[in-house]
Homo-oligomer: A and B are copies of this chain.
Amino acid sequence: MATKRVDRAPVTRDRIVTRALAIVDAEGLEALSMRRLASDLGVEAASLYHHVRNKDEVLDGIVGLVRSELRLEPPFPDDWIDLLVLIFARYYTVLVAHPHTISLAGRHVDTDEADGLPFILAQGFSIDDAVAAWQSVVSFVIGYAAMSTRQIPGDSDYLPSALAERMTRWPTETVERTVRAILEAYAAAGSNALKVQPSGG
């Protein structure tokens, strides 16, 4: 009863994950079911479990696939703030390119993210400031990506139209401005702490 394998490309973990991301990109997270995914690959749902432990592993695979798009090519800016602004702008771009995967962000601790934290520390931050700045920037970018890709029903009739119109736009420029603002503020606070001892007053 088994159909001939020759008819179609062999099912592999890679093909499963790639197809899954394609479905999610095109039709959203809810459209991704094991039966639908299998059907797209010309196979029954149960067969997928030979290549993948469960649906969670498929979702993890999707996250990995998206993350692999984060690589930047040289040349890199000399200034460390410019560099981080560039990195996070890229992060935002990739998230927006796969809007429906944003709610999957943070399924695992992000190795690349963890690389960046020691880097920030090397700029002379205190540990606490470095962690706070890092968490703030990451939170902002993910939050901004989430907000910008959510198509909110247009209940905002009570806003002046000039405002309402602008509230529907989520320019990348804002990502750059805000990331820079956060980093500069924490950097300034750090250097102030070295100069004067703020003990209360």
Residues of A within 8 A of B (CB): 103, 106, 108-109, 111, 114, 117-118, 121, 127-128, 130-132, 135-136, 138-144, 146-147, 150, 152-156, 158-160, 162-163, 166-167, 170-171, 173-174, 177-178, 181-182, 184-186, 189
Contacts and interface: CB of A to CB of B under 8 A. Distances in A.
Given A127-B166, A136-B174, A182-B182, A114 B144 contact: no
Contacts of A111: 155
A160 B115 CA distance: 11
A200 to B, nearest CB: 15
As for how many copies of this chain the complex holds, the number is: 2
Given A131-B167, A139-B144, A167-B135, A155 B106 contact: no
A136 B178 contact: yes
A153 B109 contact: yes
Given A141-B143, A143-B139, A117 B167 contact: yes
Contact of A118 (B109, B114, B163): B163
Contacts of A181: 181-182, 185-186
B127 A136 contact: no
B108 A155 contact: yes
